[in-house]
Structure 1
Amino acid sequence: MATPHFTLVQGDITEQDVDAVVNAANSSLLGGGGVDGAIHRKGGPDILSECRELRASRYRTGLPTGQAVATTAGRLPARWVIHTVGPVHSHQEDRSGLLASCHRESLRVARELGARTVAFPAISTGVYRWPVADAARIAVRTLRAEGEGFDELRLVLFDRDSYDAFADAVG
């Protein structure tokens, strides 16, 4: 099995010229803070319009944690946005399987779309409080196991600490 090609970038996921960017969405699919808010703001109303259609049809109660769904990327340089809902970190319950599922399901959707390049943020590490080093380990392990066939899996980290944690995980 071929190891996927990882690229690490410290920067803004909304500026990535890739086939698909992964959005660390909230379950409502209607925008929010952090990565989600930035993608909706910069991508424009077409993303929100498609998210509203998804809520009215397939996801009436919201997108479940660990699942993924795609919309247009609107005014972003990417072709698609793959929305996934990361788990909130818990000290009482092991939710690492849900975090791994976000990455696995995002890759599944990317394959269905025919995407060859996919940019991922550090899912669940912001307001959902997942420790960055652990999130990086889970993300990289899952992307290595499931990422065969993609030309590039880009890890786009907003700050230096996140970049360093993901660089350590990639090795």
Structure 2
Amino acid sequence: MTTRPTRLVLVQGDITEQDVDAVVNAANSSLLGGGGVDGAIHRRGGPEILAACRDLRASHYGKGLPTGQAVATTAGRLPARHVIHTVGPRWSTTEDRSELLASCYRESLRVAAELGARTVAFPAISTGIYGWPLEDGARIAVETVRAAAPASVEEVRFVVFDDRAREAFARYVDGAR
């Protein structure tokens, strides 16, 4: 039996509306909500996500989730079954943090496989308030997912908010099909 490669899909829209097994949250290390994607997921998902994150902070992640790591919680009121929280790196002009950004995607896929997730939706991690250049963030995201997606993950959706992000991701998602 041969396995098919993971299907990569580009969606412009709201990540909180994705009906997938797991949605990835571009979280801050506190896991307690914030702005951007993180805030949207916490608002739409409801208090169940915050409660699960507080439990994580009280047990394994007392100092917060380290950059590049990933951990799962309930999805609360989201259409997804799980939320995979990952902390992206802040962009730096003096230090190459590309491996940390790639780790966010790899670790999220590892957690997705552990959960039995067949469909996963990713935002453009670190390309918002953390300042990562969109074009480079798209390249790292798509290349990492192509290389690291386990066979059990059938579809990865890159869910982007606006035309600029859609154009950046389209160059990599569509360019190597």
Shorter-chain TM-score range: over 0.9
Q: Kindly indicate whether residue 115 of structure 2 is the aligned counterpart of residue 92 of structure 1.
A: no
Question: What does residue 66 of structure 1 align with?
Answer: 68
CA distance in 2, matches of 1:22, 1:63: 14
For the 8 Å contact 2:109–2:150, the answer to whether it is kept is no
- Structure 2 unaligned residues grouped into runs of 5+: none
- The corresponding residue for 2:6 is 4
In the alignment, does 2:137 pair up with 1:119? no
Unpaired stretches in structure 1, ≥5 consecutive residues = none
Aligned mate of 1:161, from 139, 161, 164: 164
8 A Cα contact 2:5 2:154, kept in partner: no
Q: 2:106 aligns with which of 98, 104, 127?
A: 104
Q: Is the CA contact (8 Å cut-off) linking 1:16 and 1:78 kept in structure 2?
A: yes
Matched residue type, 1:7: V
Letter in 2 for 1:169: Y
Aligned match of 2:56: 54
Whole-Å Cα distance in 1 between the matches of residues 104 and 160 of structure 2?
17
- Rounded Cα–Cα distance in structure 2 between residues aligned with 1:64 and 1:36: 16
Counterparts of 1:112 and 1:124 in 2: how far apart (Å)? 24
**Is contact 2:113–2:150 with CA below 8 Å preserved after alignment?**
no
How far residue 156 of structure 1 moved from its aligned partner, in angstroms, is 0.1
1:151 to 149, 154, 157: 154
Shift of 1:2: 4.6
CA deviation string 1:35-62 (max 9, x = no partner)? 0000000000000000000000000000
**Total equivalences in the alignment:** 171
Give the alignment's TM-score, normalised by structure 2.
0.95
- Alpha-carbon separation, structure 1, partners of 2:105 and 2:4: 18
Identical columns (%): 73
Distance 2:150 2:139 in 1: 18
Deviations 1:109-133 (A, max 9, x none): 0000000000000000000000010
Aligned to 2:43: 41
Contact 2:88 2:126 in 1 (8 A): yes
State the TM-score, normalized to the length of structure 1.
Answer: 0.98
SS in 1 for 2:156: strand
Aligned CA-pair RMSD? 0.9
The residue identity in structure 2 corresponding to 1:156 is: V
Where does structure 1 differ by over 6 angstroms across 4 or more consecutive aligned residues?
none
- Counterpart of 2:143 in structure 1 is 141
